[in-house]
Amino acid sequence: MSLPSDFLWGFATAAYQIEGSTDVDGRGPSIWDTFCAIPGKIADGSSGVVACDSYKRTKEDIALLKELGAKCYRFSISWSRVIPLGGRNDPINQAGIDHYRQFVDDLLEAGITPFITLFHWDLPDALDKRYGGLLNKEEFTADFENYARLMFKSIPKCKHWITFNEPWCSAINGYNLGIFAPGHTSDRNKSPVGDSAREPWIVGHNILIAHGKAVKVYREEFKPTQGGEIGITLNGDATYPWDPEDPADIEACDRKIEFAISWFADPIYFGDYPASMRKQLGERLPTFTEEEVALVKGSNDFYGMNHYTANYIKHRKGTPPEDDFLGNLETLFYDKNGNCIGPETQSFWLRPNAQGFRNLLNWLSKRYNYPKIYVTENGTSLKGESDLPLEQALEDDFRCKYFHDYVHAMAKAVEEDGVNVKGYMAWSLLDNFEWADGYVTRFGVTYVDYKDNCKRYPKKSARQMKPLFDSLIKKAEVEAAEAAKPAPAVAEEQAEEADA
């Protein structure tokens, strides 16, 4: 038993990936609606128009969460449902607000703690068209602040807020590789617009400022009366040196994490970008004004951690190309000695390696002085899962092993390494729209039958979660008894005193 008695566990989703109903009740389009409409951008030519139909099935989804024993649920708000055009002078859509308010009431009624993500990549399309969306610092940060304030005011019962999900993905996938909306890249075969060497760093900077502004609003205008907490969710993979004997590979391992995670976390915890990024990117990496430092530094009540996989890292020699975003290194699945990082999944970037999770929890905790961590996503796809008949897909032993190993690695990090993890949300409650992969890649603990009215069937992994966490979370009575016991050293001293 190694997790604290107040430990929260549950599942995560995101609006565009599950809701569907994209033009219902006054919702405006997001950049993902627009992106999906461009031929060739989504593997199976699909979109989030129907997805899991969750907008219309909130009661059913909550019943499912309850059935699985979840204590918390992380979901995101579709900005363009509540402000269809997105901007601070644009009309508000009361139907959208009422939907999410009701959803939070229903979750609480079911005894499930809501975690709300304000931005899971689905920017209102009007803002992209109006002023370039995430690229426009003044406009975007002011509009995000306004949207955040509206949500804090509208849903006072929510006590856990996440400003942004994985800004790395918005910046790199959206503005360097062009594989996510809005699809900017320097590669003119893929997009007529974009500058992969510059735009991602501007977007990252603007997201940090927008995050800082929203946190300031929450802390000054809502936290004193509502008493909740707010943070950002960052993604990042674990790293191992390709050649464990080569100091340059060992150094590259840290640099890889700095380019992925510390890009955002260093400004939030220390007030500036990592030196390794400044060194490689020079003036293409924006600088923080004093006012911006004041906004961003210290702006996390908790660290939201999304984590899936690990890589072997091999340093590169010479000057990296201008569009490099990894830190002048290669990410590999095999090391110098032919060891493999982990088995294949349906996602080209994902191979399970649970020890890496424990290592990264330690890396983050040491660098950022043991912050409170919520694991806001962790999970896996399965190679070929979509080709299986339903009955076989429900026996997802590979996913069961993944969750078992990762959750145990996390529990060890808490118990033995002193890492401060307070919650864990598996990705995902449901199979859903996996962005550029469409519906072919499934991440759910619940099978969604897209051919039969999105019927839901919990897989083996869904049922495993409660017993898994029950076996690791301390009972409150036991924990209280332990806390009341004097520490062993003190007990010895007392015994000696008694002897004397």
Give catalytic residue positions: 166, 377
Output the smallest distance, CB 291 to ligand PNW, in A: 30
**Binding to ligand PNW by residue 377, rule CB under 6 A?**
yes
Q: In 3-state terms, what secondary structure has residue 15?
A: helix
CA distances from 192 to 13, 45, 122, 196 (A): 32, 20, 21, 12
410 φ/ψ angles, rounded to the nearest 5 degrees: -65, -45
- Taking the least distance from each CB to ligand PNW, the nearer of 223 and 314 is 314
**Distance set, CA 232 to CA 39, 124, 261, 300 (Å):** 33, 20, 11, 7
Query: Applying CB under 6 A, which of residues 11, 73, 240, 443 lies at the interface with ligand PNW?
Result: 443
382-441 residues near ligand PNW, rule: CB under 6 A:
427, 434
Residue window 56-95: x/- pattern of binding to ligand PNW, with contact defined by CB under 6 A: ----------------------------------------
Q: Please state the closest distance from residue 9 (CB atom) to ligand PNW, in A.
A: 18
169/203 with CB nearer ligand PNW: 169
- Closest CB to ligand PNW belongs to which residue? 349
Choice between 136 and 170, CB closer to ligand PNW = 170
Closer residue to ligand PNW in complex, CB, 14/277: 14
Residue nearer to ligand PNW on the CB measure, 382 or 473 = 382
What tokens were used for 255?
Answer: 């640099």
Q: How far is the CB of 82 from ligand PNW (least distance, A)?
A: 20
Token code pair at residue 164: 């942004």
Q: Does 122 bind ligand PNW (CB under 6 A)?
A: no
Residue 169 as a binder of ligand PNW (CB under 6 A): the answer is yes
| Longest distance between any two alpha carbons in the chain, whole Å | 85
In the list 206, 280, 306, 359, the residue contacting ligand PNW (rule: CB under 6 A) is 306
Among 131-139, 161-169, 198-206, 469-477, the segment contacting ligand PNW (CB under 6 A): 161-169
Q: How far is the CB of 397 from ligand PNW (least distance, A)?
A: 20
Q: Binding string to ligand PNW for residues 195 to 234, with x set by CB under 6 A, is what? A: ----------------------------------------
CA distance 115 to 72: 7
How far, in Å, CA of 104 to CA of 77, rounded? Answer: 11
For 270, counting Cβ atoms within 10 Å of its Cβ (0-12 exposed, 13-18 middle, 19+ buried), the class is middle
Q: State the nearest-atom distance from the C-beta of 41 to ligand PNW, in Å.
A: 15
166 is an interface residue for ligand PNW by CB under 6 A:
yes
Q: How many residues bind ligand PNW (CB under 6 A)?
A: 12
Window contacting ligand PNW (CB under 6 A); options: 165-173, 316-324, 351-359, 450-458: 165-173
325 touching ligand PNW, by CB under 6 A: no
Considering the complex, state which of residue 55 and residue 222 has its C-beta at the smaller distance from ligand PNW.
55
Stated as kind and residue range, the H or E segment containing 255 is: helix 247-257
In contact, 458 and 445? CB cutoff 8 Å: yes
* Assigned token pair, 78: 């579709």
Is 235 among the residues that bind ligand PNW (CB under 6 A)? Answer: yes
Helices then strands, counting H and E runs in the chain, come out as: 21, 13
- Between CA 449 and CA 453 the distance in angstroms is 7
- CB 216: neighbour CB atoms within 10 A? 17
Region binding ligand PNW by CB under 6 A among candidate stretches 152-160, 164-172, 267-275, 486-494: 164-172
Report d(CA 234, CA 367) in Å as an integer. Answer: 15
Question: Whole-number minimum distance, CB 4 to ligand PNW, in Å?
Answer: 26
The residue among 14 and 230 lying less far from ligand PNW, judged by its C-beta, is 14
CA 302 to chain centre: 13
Member of 8, 14, 68, 238 binding ligand PNW (CB under 6 A) = 14
> Rounded to the nearest whole angstrom, what is the least distance from the CB of residue 52 to ligand PNW in the complex?
12
Give least dist CB 105 to ligand PNW, A. Answer: 25
> Residue 65, CB half-sphere, CA atoms under 13 Å: how many?
32
Nearer to ligand PNW, 154 or 428 (CB): 428
Is residue 186 close enough to count as binding ligand PNW by CB under 6 A? Answer: no
Sign of the alpha-carbon torsion through 415, 373, 367, 311: positive
Angle at 65 between CA 64 and CA 71, to 5 degrees: 165
Assign residue 324 a region: left if phi > 0, alpha if psi is -120 to 50, beta otherwise?
beta
Q: Which of 91, 95, 102, 349 binds ligand PNW (CB under 6 A)?
A: 349
Q: Which is nearer to ligand PNW, 34 or 76 (CB)?
A: 76
User: What DSSP state is assigned to residue 220?
Assistant: I
- Concatenating the DSSP letter of every residue in 107-138 gives HHHTT-EEEEEEESS--BHHHHHHH-GGG-HH
- Binding residues vs ligand PNW (CB under 6 A): 14, 17, 165-166, 169, 235, 306, 349, 377, 427, 434, 443
